[in-house]
Structure 1
Amino acid sequence: MRNVEQVSSVKNELLDIFMSMEVAEHKQRQKSAAVRYLRARRGIELHNEFKQLERDIAGFDDELMQ
């Protein structure tokens, strides 16, 4: 009976360790995904800013030519 209790205790301990590792990995994946999302968003914003700047410059050039 004592061996069964010890085995059960060890199983529970291993399961707890495994679950805590899974939680830590999940948190790390979430952080990485958030960083990728923010970088992508900033890249899109920069692209749009450059396009707007090009339009503004083109409009300015048109005004100078007239």
Structure 2
Amino acid sequence: MYSQQKSDRIIAYPYHLESEVYSLHYLVCSMTPGAFYWFDAQVHLQYVLEEFGRTAGLTLLLKYIK
């Protein structure tokens, strides 16, 4: 699997996938409290763009606790 980590996204390219359910785990560290929108994940086939998948996005609320 090929992957890139950018400051605002993760890009991953597997070479071959069978028909199953897959999950991708990654660690996020935030130093600033506030409300952040967690964008949905999008999956596309390289040569058949009309077949795709998408997850739900959500709002993540980080609070500073003393």
Per the normalisation by structure 2, the TM-score is: 0.17
Highest RCO, 1 vs 2 (Cα 8 Å, sep ≥ 6): 2
Would you tell me which structure has more helix in proportion to its own residues?
A: 1
Would you tell me which structure has more strand in proportion to its own residues?
A: 2
Structure with max Cα Rg:
1
